[in-house]
Structure 1
Amino acid sequence: MPKPTKGPRLGGGPAHERLMLANLAAALFTHKSIKTTETRAKRLRPLAERLVQFAKRGDLHARRRVLATITDKTVVHELFTVIAPQVNERQGGYTRITKLGFRKGDNASMVQMELVLEPVTPKVKHSKTSTVTAEKPVVEEVVVADAAVEEPVEAPVEADAAADPDTTDTK
């Protein structure tokens, strides 16, 4: 018998795991946020991301592929009409997992898994040539051709020294 490639099964066989992950995905799309164990959330994340990618495509084939996983038509309709337009500009990372602590009964690590529905802010790409030209201020030189430059006239130092006898040097 081939062994599972993605870790241990979550409390049963492969069919039980598929159904449980489908129900978790349906709850995530319905409520936009669910509280579950860390292991289940880590197993749910790739499935939920793939279903959102299908919803972003929006065609009939994508809708039927999602309906093969999530059988509730109202959840699929909400995924395609509400969630997909909100994450249309996002390239990936549709889910967020936040650790909450440990469950009291069995000390299982609990997390909050939620959809990231905030609008994405595009990053501004800076190239080296554009940043150098943008950061240097432009200095305009004003050239005056006919301006006469006046030199300061120095006052005779000897006349001041003769007038004040205290400042004279005596050797």
Structure 2
Amino acid sequence: MRHNHGYRKLGRTSSHRKALLKNLAIALIEHKKIETGVFKAKELQSYIEKLVTIARVGDFNSHRFIFSYLQDKSATKKLIAEIAPGYADRKGGYTRIQRTRLRRGDASLMATIEFV
């Protein structure tokens, strides 16, 4: 049973799920808005908001921590230099999820996730 479990498995192994969230986070940082499934967006929201909170500090340790999660130099630099300073006075809620449509092929709920 899944009573009050901490995260969604998304039908993937742990390594596949980790790679999926990493790639979605990099895409969100580069494009500032992406469309994906609702449950992937909800998982990505908690993943990226933790990174933004740490990136607000902007020191060497936050660079290392964020790079360990993303494994992408340009996304790490963009998150720390461009995105995180805009949220310096905000205590959370850096992203917004809006449900958009039903996907035509399988009628899955789609949503856009973007930085506020």
Which amino acid is 1:46 matched to?
Answer: S
Q: Which residue of 1 aligns with 2:39?
A: 39
Q: Which residue of 2 aligns with 1:29?
A: 29
Q: Which residue of 1 aligns with 2:90?
A: 90
Write out aligned runs for 1:70-81 (5 A).
70-81=70-81
Which amino acid is 1:79 matched to?
Answer: L
Contact 2:8 2:43 in 1 (8 A): no
Structure 1 position 8, deviation (Å): 4.4
Q: Which residue of 2 aligns with 1:55?
A: 55
User: Aligned partners of 2:12, 2:52: CA distance in 1, in Å?
Assistant: 26
User: Aligned partners of 2:42, 2:93: CA distance in 1, in Å?
Assistant: 13
Which amino acid is 2:100 matched to?
Answer: L
SS at structure 1 position matched to 2:56: helix
RMSD: 1.1
User: Aligned partners of 2:80, 2:50: CA distance in 1, in Å?
Assistant: 13
Which amino acid is 1:12 matched to?
Answer: R
Q: Which residue of 2 aligns with 1:114?
A: 114
Unmatched runs of 5 consecutive residues or more in structure 2:
none
TM-score by length of 2: 0.92
* Sequence identity percentage: 38
What are the Cα deviations for residues 113-143 of structure 1, in whole angstroms up to 9, with x where unaligned? 0001xxxxxxxxxxxxxxxxxxxxxxxxxxx
> Higher RCO, 1 or 2 (CA under 8 Å, sep at least 6)?
2
State which drifts further: 92-101 or 10-19: 10-19
User: Aligned partners of 2:8, 2:94: CA distance in 1, in Å?
Assistant: 25
Structure 1 position 31, deviation (Å): 0.4
Which amino acid is 1:98 matched to?
Answer: Q
Whose radius of gyration is greater, 1 or 2? 1
Q: What is the number of residues matched between the two proteins?
A: 112
SS at structure 2 position matched to 1:96: strand
The structure with more helix, counted as a fraction of residues:
2
SS at structure 2 position matched to 1:110: strand
What are the Cα deviations for residues 73-94 of structure 1, in whole angstroms up to 9, with x where unaligned? 0000000000011111211100
Structure 1 position 17, deviation (Å): 0.2
What are the Cα deviations for residues 32-55 of structure 1, in whole angstroms up to 9, with x where unaligned? 000000010011111100000111
User: Aligned partners of 1:100, 1:8: CA distance in 2, in Å?
Assistant: 21
Structure 1 position 7, deviation (Å): 4.7
Unmatched runs of 5 consecutive residues or more in structure 1:
117-171
